[in-house]
Amino acid sequence: MIGCSISVADVAYLPIGKREQTKVQNRLAILDAAREVFGELGYEAATVRDIIRRTGLAAGTFYNYYRSKEEVFAALADDGARRFAPILKSLRQGDDFDGFVRAAIVAYFEFMADEHISWMARRPAGEQQPHVQGETPEMAAVFAEVKDAIEDAIAAGRGPASDSEYMAAAAIGIAREVGDKMLMRRPIAVAAAADFAVGMILNGLKGLPSGMRPS
């Protein structure tokens, strides 16, 4: 963690590069501290004061970046979505739509499991990772990647010709909900959860109305 050894007056005379570097360091310090605090105390019990105390930053510095612990948690969720998007993009190389869906779900569940194991390493027993309400830009990017993959498959005649937005929303919704339940079970069974989610998605696609588009 970094200390708050630079005053506001000092910052005003720093070169732009140094000032931006300090901003990045402060933001990373807050997010790293939040991961530790959420892990040790649990999300519900953790407070902004706990996070600030762990960073060594002044309270005013914290509030320059985040207004609440909910915003900090959302930023951590953004980070996860940002790191998963390239994984999803790399899976779009094949021609088999069903294969893409399965590979994407397995990759997503493996990613969730790895993140969860790291997140829960020091969390109080029984407390689950909270949902982030609302869509972030990074989550929107993952949605767009799924939607584009579905539209590519439709254009190539490899996927059902239906509403791509609804299809992407349904696929992501199933994956999120099944994934959340997967993380509550012990042991975490990625393969079983993936089989169920893939079956729900692919079999559900077979019953879609043909040619449906947003109005």
Q: Which one of 67, 86, 114 terminates a domain?
A: 67
Q: Report the distance separating Cα 66 and Cα 75, nearest Å.
A: 9
Q: Are residues 30 and 93 in the same domain?
A: no
Instruction: Look up the domain containing 98 and give its range.
Output: 70-205
The verdict on residue 215 lying in a domain is no
The verdict on residue 91 lying in a domain is yes
**Mean pLDDT across the chain, nearest whole number?**
79
Q: Which one of 67, 85, 108 terminates a domain?
A: 67
Angle at 135 between CA 129 and CA 139, to 5 degrees: 80
Q: Report the distance separating Cα 181 and Cα 83, nearest Å.
A: 22
Q: Are residues 125 and 35 in the same domain?
A: no
Q: Are residues 48 and 114 in the same domain?
A: no
Q: Which one of 46, 67, 88 terminates a domain?
A: 67
CATH code, domain carrying 159: 1.10.357
- The per-residue pLDDT for 3 is 32
- For 205, the token pair is 């696609």
The verdict on residue 212 lying in a domain is no
The verdict on residue 85 lying in a domain is yes
Q: Report the distance separating Cα 65 and Cα 166, nearest Å.
A: 35
The verdict on residue 211 lying in a domain is no
**Highest averaged pLDDT of the listed ranges 31-40, 44-53, 120-129, 150-159:** 44-53
The verdict on residue 186 lying in a domain is yes
- For 163, the token pair is 């509403």
Q: Are residues 135 and 80 in the same domain?
A: yes
CATH code, domain carrying 25: 1.10.10.60
Question: How far are the Cα atoms of 35, 130, 176 from residue 127, in angstroms, in the given order?
Answer: 15, 9, 18
- The per-residue pLDDT for 13 is 45
Q: Are residues 48 and 36 in the same domain?
A: yes
Report how far Cα 200 is from the mean position of its chain's Cα atoms. 22
Q: Are residues 141 and 200 in the same domain?
A: yes
- The per-residue pLDDT for 52 is 96
Q: What is the DSSP string of the chain?
A: -----S-HHHHHTS-HHHHHHHHHHHHHHHHHHHHHHHHHH-TTT--HHHHHHHHT--HHHHHTT-SSHHHHHHHHHHHHHHHHHHHHHHGGGSS-HHHHHHHHHHHHHHHHHHHHHHHHTTSPTTPPPPPPPS--HHHHHHHHHHHHHHHHHHHTTSS--S-HHHHHHHHHHHHHHHHHHHHHSSS--HHHHHHHHHHHHHHHHTTSPTT----
Question: Domain count of the chain?
Answer: 2
The verdict on residue 135 lying in a domain is yes
Q: Are residues 59 and 96 in the same domain?
A: no
Q: Are residues 40 and 89 in the same domain?
A: no
Q: What is the pLDDT of residues 198-208, one digit of tens each?
A: 999 988 877 76
Q: Are residues 81 and 151 in the same domain?
A: yes
Determine the average pLDDT of the residues in 137-148.
77
When mean pLDDT is compared across 15-19, 34-38, 95-99, 140-144, the lowest value belongs to 15-19
The verdict on residue 196 lying in a domain is yes
Q: What is the pLDDT of residues 162-196, one digit of tens each?
A: 888 998 999 999 998 898 889 888 899 999 999 99
Task: Grade residue 150 by pLDDT with cuts at 50, 70 and 90.
Answer: confident
Q: Are residues 50 and 19 in the same domain?
A: yes
Q: Are residues 31 and 107 in the same domain?
A: no
Q: Are residues 92 and 154 in the same domain?
A: yes
Q: What is the pLDDT of residues 79-112, one digit of tens each?
A: 877 888 888 888 877 668 888 889 999 998 998 8
- Of 169 and 120, which is predicted with more confidence? 169
